[in-house]
Amino acid sequence: MKLRLSGKIIASFSLIIIFSFISFGVNLKLSSDVNRDTEYLTKSEAIIRNSAKIHKSILEMQSNFRGYLLTENKSFLDPYYSSIKEMSGLVDEQRKLISDSPAQVARFNDIQILHNQWLKYANALIEAKFKQIDPKIISSEYEMLFEQKLRKEFGKKMTDEISNKFKEFDKTEYRVRKGRRAKLSESIAIAKQVTMLLAIITISVGVLSAFYITHIIIKRIKSMVVLADNISKGRFETIVDIEKDELSQLSDSLNVMSEKLKKSFSELDNYAYVVSHDLKVPLRGIYNLAHWMEEDYGNELSPEMHKYLDKLKGRVERMESLINGLLEYSKIGRTSQPLEEVNMNELLADIIDSTVPEDFEVRLSNNLPVIFTERLRIQQVFSNLISNAVKYKGNKSGLITITSKEVPDGFEFTVEDNGVGISPEYHNKIFGLFQTLREKHEVESTGIGLSIVKKIIEDNKGSIRVVSNEGEGASFIFKWPAIKVVMPV
Amino acid sequence: MKEISILLIEDDELDVISFERALKKINLPIILYTAFNGIEALELLRGKQRISIPDIIVLDLNMPKMNGGEFLAELRKDSTFNDVKIFIMTTSNEDRDRSRGDEFGVTGYIIKPLNFNENTKRNVSMDNFMHFQIMKMVGDQLN
């Protein structure tokens, strides 16, 4: 089964949430264990505390009882009786606390039985003592009891037995408390470990799924970025998408776009060919007709007609130049040229050879580089700039100076002439399509050359500017990003 | 001197005129037949009032009714025309058209100049071009 992108995202979130719930549940269980063990421990401690209190009360009763018998001072009896009252509350509480341990209940019962026996014995003696010291009553009951019980250490045996029973009870409870304390610290340790483990698992699952999802999304997007980049460079490819998820729509659209662009670009190429062919054929016909009229009827034509035929031919040639220029202009940026090693010195020498007349002087700087670039494009730029320099020659003898300077990412070239120059108000205009500062009858000046130059340079991510004043020549300075080729020494 | 016959199949009237003007200047015994498309040419070659088999056929590719390629396909069905030298003369410089010509075993592929700007600079008029091409075509026949 193939999960779509949102499915994957939801699945990983659900996984994290499930893990969070599991750790929440486990923590709840563990903390209730800890609570329970804490409660047990507290209970044990309360039992021990109560036991001590009860024992203490009993001991106090015993000592008060003895004190009274010895001193016959009734003040000993007040705490004796209040202890009895006090005890009943403590005993009830203790019974509740130990109710879940039958062994301790049995011990406690023993203690209570013994204590009750002792109370009976003590109460009998106290009553006898009352009678003995009451002058109105003559009784030998005390003496009798004294001889029968006290002298035979009847009471002491009982109190010793109670103390022993208490020792036994406390010892047992100490043991219980120790066990419960160990259990509490154990459950705390388990809670700590399990919580830590679950947190680590949850965090790992979260981090891993985040990485996974980021990875798959980035992978998909990257392929599309590459495609878009290729499209912008005129390579109309498509990407194969086997994922079929939410991003497929985007990649499908990109593919469709690429194909449509490819189609319309080929249509445009076809259109350009049709324009160049079908517009030029009738033009050539007109030109031929004018030529034949001159050739065949030259003698019969008036000078005026010769002049008009010349102008006709001139306009037809201009029309052809316009068509050629437009074609050239429309091709820039659509067809990418191969990058190759270009020796600027040789390239410029070739251009100068074919475009600059003999009466011009051309100065080339001696540090012209060898660069790695599109040969045709840099050649078009220099051809246009140099032929402009030739076209707009001034009154002085023509001089063209070409220099280069290394700048970050490329070179800055300058083509300087001493021709007619351009007034600053036209500096922005001259790079526009069909903008020429010459009159319309000029054959060569179609106003497209500098537009081509600018478009080529900007297509190559460079820039061009002009420095000129009317009558002072012109300098065209352009930046041409390119890699310098270092020649081996 | 042996007479040479040429059949020019060309839809552009001005190119036909240019061809005729060039022939006139050459002043050789050449008979020219012209057709404006493939159908007219086939009529001339196979119709009731047919001409004798020409030595040379000069053929434009882009023509109405029946273009150069279709004409060649039709012509190659009949072996009687196997010895005719065929020259394609077109403005198309496309590889597709060139290889089509090679398939049909044409003798030459001539590209008509479109940029007369450059031609006038070099003082090459259409007539001069035709003149040069005709001389090349008939050169073998004369020797």
- Taking CA atoms, A227 is separated from A41, A235, A257, in Å, by 71, 9, 11
In this prediction, residues A300-318 reach a mean pLDDT of: 88
pLDDT at A246: 77
Is residue B44 very low, low, confident or very high in pLDDT (cuts 50, 70, 90)?
Answer: confident
A411 and A443 housed in the same domain: yes
Mean of pLDDT values over A443-465: 82
By residue range, what is the domain housing residue A282? Answer: 267-329
- Report chain A's mean pLDDT, rounded to a whole number: 85
Beta pairing class for A370-374 and A483-484: antiparallel
Predicted confidence (pLDDT) per residue in A118-161, tens digit: 888 888 888 888 888 878 877 777 888 877 777 777 778 888 88
Give the whole-number percent of chain A exceeding pLDDT 70.
96
A373 and A310 in a common domain: no
Total count of domains within chain B:
1
Q: B interface toward A at CB cutoff 8 Å?
A: 12, 14, 17-18, 21, 91-92, 114-117, 120, 125-127
Q: Residue B63 belongs to what domain range?
A: 4-142
- DSSP letters spanning B59-119: E-SS-SSS-HHHHHHHHTT-GGGTTSEEEEEES---HHHHHHHHHTT-SEEEEPP--HHHH
User: Are residues A35 and A126 located together in one domain of the fold?
Assistant: yes
Give the DSSP H or E segment for A414: strand A410-417
B114 and A281 within 8 Å at the Cβ level: the answer is yes
* Chain A nearest CA to B10, separation (Å): 13
Q: Give the residue from chain B lying closest to A289, CA to CA.
A: B14
A23 plus A58 within the same structural domain: yes
pLDDT tens figures, A207-261: 998 999 899 889 888 888 888 888 877 677 887 777 777 778 888 888 888 888 8
Q: Residue B123 pLDDT > 60, yes or no? A: no
CATH number of A11's domain: 1.20.120.1730
Domain count, chain A: 3
Minimal CA separation from B116 to chain A, in Å: 7
Mean pLDDT within A290-307: 89
Q: What is the CATH number of the domain that holds A387?
A: 3.30.565.10
pLDDT at A414: 93
Residues A341 and A325 in one domain: no
pLDDT beyond 90 at A328: no
Report the C-alpha gap between A252 and A369 in whole angstroms: 45
User: What is the pLDDT, as a whole number, of residue B47?
Assistant: 83
The pLDDT value recorded for residue A1 is: 47
Q: List pLDDT tens digits, range A29-40.
A: 999 989 998 998
Contact residues, chain A, for B19 at CB < 8 Å:
none
DSSP helix/strand/coil, A180: helix
Least confident of A114-123, A271-280, A386-395, A475-484: A271-280
> What CA–CA distance (Å, rounded) separates B7 from B29?
14
A33 and A142 co-located in one domain:
yes
Reported ipTM: the value is 0.82
Q: Which of A54-58, A469-473, B47-51 has the highest mean pLDDT?
A: A54-58
